[in-house]
Structure 1
Amino acid sequence: MSETAARWYVVHTYSGYENKVAQNLEKLVENRNLQSLIYEVKVPTELVVEQKEDQQKEVERKLFPGYVLVKMEMTDDSWYVVRNIRGVTGFVGPGSKPVPLSPREVENLGVEKRSFKVDYKVGDSVSIKEGPLKDFVGTVEELDAEANLVKVKVSMFGRETPVELELSQVQLV
């Protein structure tokens, strides 16, 4: 089977067991050689700055406490392996039927980073392909491939205005 058939599923865990479930699942996949069924395990987190007693501290916080995301092909074997990890209470979905995340949900959660190959660079003239500024032409000021953003300076009402867009929203003129 291939990774293209794999989908992201949400696994419900006991609160506080997310990292332990992820570690145990990764170890089990490696030990039983199940890389062809279970591809990735993630516990989505974010960095948050906390203020405690006049000190700021960066803390990693779970975005979805009690949940682990698993990219896998849903077969009886893979379902059984994930379902029987200590700390897992089940898959998210009606009854006992796991429901995969839609591509849009995966994108919105930022689980998978999509990379774009762009044929423009800073200083190039580009045309905006979509959005409220469609068909406007501007100059690329900044490229941020990791954040999937490009800053373009567009002339509107006789003024140069910086606009932030996704990489896929512009094309080389």
Structure 2
Amino acid sequence: MKSWYLVTCKPRQEERAATNLLNQGIEVFYPKLTTEKLIKGRRTVKQSALFPNYLFICLESQNGNFSAVKNTRGINGFVSYGTRYQIVPEALIEQLKYERTSSAESTIPKAGDTVSVHNNTFNNVAAIYKEPDGDMRSILLINLLNQKIEVSVENKDITQ
């Protein structure tokens, strides 16, 4: 019977450890957090470990190659209570996998999203996001005098 176990990694070596374990044929779950933000008006995408310095691995409870895992580059060892390795419930792993796939929300608006503009010209004006206008600006549709007008606005002035 296979079980999920929790292992600790050396600092900032989760990716290396996961790759080495996968090369050995060991199933690994390494949840990552992807964030897309506007920093100084530029869009940046960053991926980081959801649980820094930890990986979930799936091994046979009786005949698993635990020593190979402990000796893998990037791995510190198993999380244990006394002499027993910590088993992670399958339901928790499934929930984490489901939440990773269902939470694909982004901080950057998509075409058709309603946004709010906050700058000197348009303060707290509702608009519809149309498309990016380079890295620093976006084109919005603003309703002025019952007509939709295209306006190019700096990304830092847009909130959802």
In 2, the alpha carbon distance for the partners of 1:112 and 1:78 equals 30
Q: Normalized against structure 2, the TM-score is what?
A: 0.55
- Sequence identity percentage: 26
Partner deviation per Cα, 1:71-128 (whole Å, 9 max, x = no partner): 1113465111101112211111213421211133223322799xxxxxxxxxxxxxxx
The equivalent of 1:49 in structure 2 is 36
Runs of 4+ in 1 over 4 A off after TM superposition: none
The equivalent of 2:136 in structure 1 is none
Q: Normalized against structure 1, the TM-score is what?
A: 0.51
Q: Any residues of structure 2 matched to 1:62-141 within 5 Å, and which? A: 62-75=49-62, 78-110=65-97
In 1, the alpha carbon distance for the partners of 2:56 and 2:62 equals 17
Long gaps (5+) in structure 2: 103-160
CA drift at 1:23: 1.0
Give the number of equivalent residue pairs: 102
Partner deviation per Cα, 1:16-72 (whole Å, 9 max, x = no partner): 11110111112233xxxxxxxx3x112111221133221121222210110111111
Q: Kindly indicate whether residue 21 of structure 2 is the aligned counterpart of residue 25 of structure 1.
A: yes
Which has the greater radius of gyration? Answer: 2
- Greater RCO structure (CA 8 Å; 6+ sep): 2
Long gaps (5+) in structure 1: 30-37, 114-145, 148-173
